[in-house]
Structure 1
Amino acid sequence: MTDTLETTETHRLIASDKVEGTAVYNPEGDRLGTIANVMIDKISGKSEYAVMEFGGLFGLGSDHYPLPWDMLTYDTDKGGYVVNLTKEQLTEAPRYAREESPEYTDDYGRTIYGYYGLSYPMF
């Protein structure tokens, strides 16, 4: 029987099911939330957003926050992603209720990237 780890990730790649549920921290080590899912551009195949679940208590009342993928860095010591944001910055960030799903249009993307001071990529 093949080991699951060997079939779902390599040193530089990770399977999407392993990203979902991974913790997200700020540089100070405070846990901000977890990755709910990853949004991938259908044409380029590049990950564009990590949607982080943040807020609430035990998942109740939490919202989803699309974060530009390039803002995250994987930290092997933490076993999670690090993003240079504070909880206060997230309280005003673009988000949606976990039971909703926005249309990820270019206008929506420009809003998200603009909030974080980034240029929206044209894949």
Structure 2
Amino acid sequence: MPTRSGHTAAILASKVVGTPVFAAGGEKLGHVQDVMLDKLSDRLVFAVIAVGFSPGMGQQCSPVPWRLLDYDPGLQGYVIALTAAQFRNAPVFGLDELTHDDGARARELTGMFYDTV
């Protein structure tokens, strides 16, 4: 089944990691640092978007539900249907926090945030 932009729904993770991510207005937000998988359900939990580096805390990332990212060939990157200002309010975690308690806290906060925007 194709995505909103007509691209295939299946893609290799190796093609996704490193791809830039943009806001709906075209502002670059970061890049796909990794993807979070749920081994028990065989599903992709979210894309891990690197948004910055915090001294003493390391890489800061925002988990984004995969369904919200759509590839734009003109930008050669993924676009999320949020403004840059909205995205700045998204939950941010260190890489190690994303998998703590099987990612329960990251999943909870990410779900709550994206259900309200």
TM-score, shorter chain, exceeding 0.5: yes
Q: Which has the higher helix share?
A: 2
* Higher RCO (CA < 8 A, seq sep 6+): 2
Q: Which has the higher strand share?
A: 2
Matched residue, 1:101: 97
Structure 1 runs of 4+ with >6 Å offset:
none
Cα distance in 2, alignment partners of residues 29 and 92 from structure 1: 17
Cα distance in 2, alignment partners of residues 108 and 22 from structure 1: 22
* Aligned residue pairs, count: 103
Which secondary structure state, in structure 2, belongs to the residue aligned with residue 51 of structure 1? strand
Matched residue, 1:32: 29
Over aligned residues, Cα RMSD in angstroms? 2.3
TM-score, with length taken from structure 2: 0.73
TM-score, with length taken from structure 1: 0.70
Q: 1:50 aligns with which of 47, 52, 60?
A: 47
Larger radius of gyration: 1
| Contiguous gaps of at least 5 residues in structure 2 | 1-6
- Contact kept, 8 Å, 2:25 with 2:84, in 1: the verdict is no
Cα distance in 2, alignment partners of residues 91 and 77 from structure 1: 24
Deviations 1:25-46 (A, max 9, x none): 1122111110000112212322
Which secondary structure state, in structure 2, belongs to the residue aligned with residue 48 of structure 1? strand
Percent of pairs identical after alignment? Answer: 33
Matched residue, 2:73: 76
| Contiguous gaps of at least 5 residues in structure 1 | 1-10, 119-123
